[in-house]
Structure 1
Amino acid sequence: LLEGAWRALVEPDWPRLRALLEADVAFHSRRLAEVGLGGLLGELNPRLAWADDGRTLTIDRPGAYERTLGGQGLVLMPSVFCWPDVVSGFEPPWQPTVVYPVRGIGGLWTGSAERTPQSLARLLGRGRADVLCALEEPASTSALAHALGLAPSSVSAHLSVLRDAGLLVSRRYGHQVLYARTPLGVALASTEA
Structure 2
Amino acid sequence: MEERQKQVKRCFWANPKNPLYIKYHDEEWGQPVHDDAKLLELLILECFQAGLSWECVLNKREAFREAFDGFDRDTILAYDEKKIDELMSTSGIIRNRAKIKAAISNTSVFKSIQEESGSFDAYLSGLCPKEPIFDHTSTTSTISDALSADLRKRGMKFVGSTTIHAFLQSIGVFNSHAPDCYLYQGK
TM-score, normalised with respect to structure 2: 0.26
Rg larger for:
1
Higher strand share: 1
RCO higher in structure (CA 8 A, sep ≥6): 2
TM-score, normalised with respect to structure 1: 0.26
